[in-house]
């Protein structure tokens, strides 16, 4: 009975909402760019029983609840491809290796070295393509699983390709300035942060981890933090640990700008 009564009240409210008076009262200065748009918005407002906008994104997963691979999607990674857009394979210690570059300029340097050393006639056959770190993380995980299977059966890993993450050579040098001699030998892929510097995401304090120390310094300059100490973490340690909920990743601004240029010239994203 109550449900029927509620439905009748709602329908009455809806019928009233369909009656739209487009005349404006005197003394009110109303700017309407399009009469049809104004009528539609007024109708939507009148039909809303709660008279307030409802945030329909409430169902989205909060940032601190996201899995590590979801957080990695914003980070661009660069690879070298051959004439048929397959990964360019290198050989290290009788292993097939494909490099995943965090820095596009390191990828460019490697590309130039290949052309100069091998005398590639058609340099256009080797290109720089991109993918996101989420895909790179999946590829590395698949390789690690195959490596575990190789221990049980040597024939499994015979033709496997090793996906090797290549940190920015510039950021490696920057990281060494903030590490003790003992910690330097343990460094694989540096990311930078500052104690006490947080970003608000979904009402939670998130510690931003920067891939570029220059971006971190620029961000800190806009805050009241003074004499803050820059700290370094191993990116690989973070993504393969369970302690990532409080962290967020900030890709290098230079890498993002380079990616934008690639997209403008029509370089396709790689999906292998």
pLDDT 10s digits, 150-187: 667 666 556 678 889 999 999 999 999 998 888 888 88
Picking from 109, 88, 133, the residue whose alpha carbon sits closest to that of residue 236 is 133
What are the start-end ranges of the H helices in 48-179? 68-71, 104-118, 133-152, 169-176
Domain with CATH 3.40.1350.100 in the chain: 68-165, 168-250
| Residue given tokens 């990828």 in the structure block | 107
pLDDT at 180: 85
pLDDT at 119: 63
pLDDT at 270: 58
Q: CB under 8 Å to 113, separation ≥6 — which residues? A: none
State whether residue 220 is helix, strand or coil: helix
Residue stretches of the chain with pLDDT short of 70: 1-3, 5-7, 9-60, 119-124, 147, 149-151, 153-159, 266-272
Fold exhibited by the domain 68-165: Trna Endonuclease; Chain: A, domain 1 (3.40.1350)
pLDDT at 20: 41
pLDDT at 57: 46
pLDDT at 241: 82
CATH architecture of the domain covering 168-250: 3-Layer(aba) Sandwich (3.40)
CA distance 235 to 233: 6
């Amino acid at each position: 009975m109550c449900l029927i009564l509620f439905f009748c009240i709602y329908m009455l409210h809806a019928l009233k909402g369909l009656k739209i008076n487009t005349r404006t009262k005197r003394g009110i200065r109303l700017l309407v760019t399009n009469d049809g748009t104004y009528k539609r918005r007024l109708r939507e407002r009148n039909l809303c029983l709660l008279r307030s906008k409802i945030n329909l994104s409430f169902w989205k997963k909060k940032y601190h609840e996201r899995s590590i691979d979801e957080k990695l999607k914003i980070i661009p990674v660069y690879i070298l491809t051959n004439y048929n857009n397959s990964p360019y394979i290198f050989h290290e210690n009788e292993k097939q290796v494909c490099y995943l570059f965090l820095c596009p300029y390191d990828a460019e340097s490697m590309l130039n070295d290949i052309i100069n050393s091998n005398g590639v006639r058609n340099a256009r056959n080797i290109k720089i393509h991109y993918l996101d770190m989420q895909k790179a993380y999946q590829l590395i995980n698949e390789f690690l699983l195959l490596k575990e299977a190789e221990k049980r059966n040597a024939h499994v890993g015979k033709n496997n390709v090793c996906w090797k993450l290549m940190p920015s050579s510039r950021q490696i040098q920057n990281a060494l300035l903030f590490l003790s001699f003992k910690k330097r030998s343990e460094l694989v892929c540096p990311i930078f942060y500052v104690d006490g510097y947080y970003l608000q995401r979904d009402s939670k304090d998130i510690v931003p981890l920067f891939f570029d120390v220059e971006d971190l310094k620029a961000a800190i300059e806009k805050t009241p933090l003074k004499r803050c100490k820059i700290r370094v973490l191993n990116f690989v340690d973070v993504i393969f640990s369970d302690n990532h909920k409080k962290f967020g990743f900030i890709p290098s601004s230079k890498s993002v700008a380079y990616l934008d240029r690639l997209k403008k010239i029509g370089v396709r994203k790689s999906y292998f």
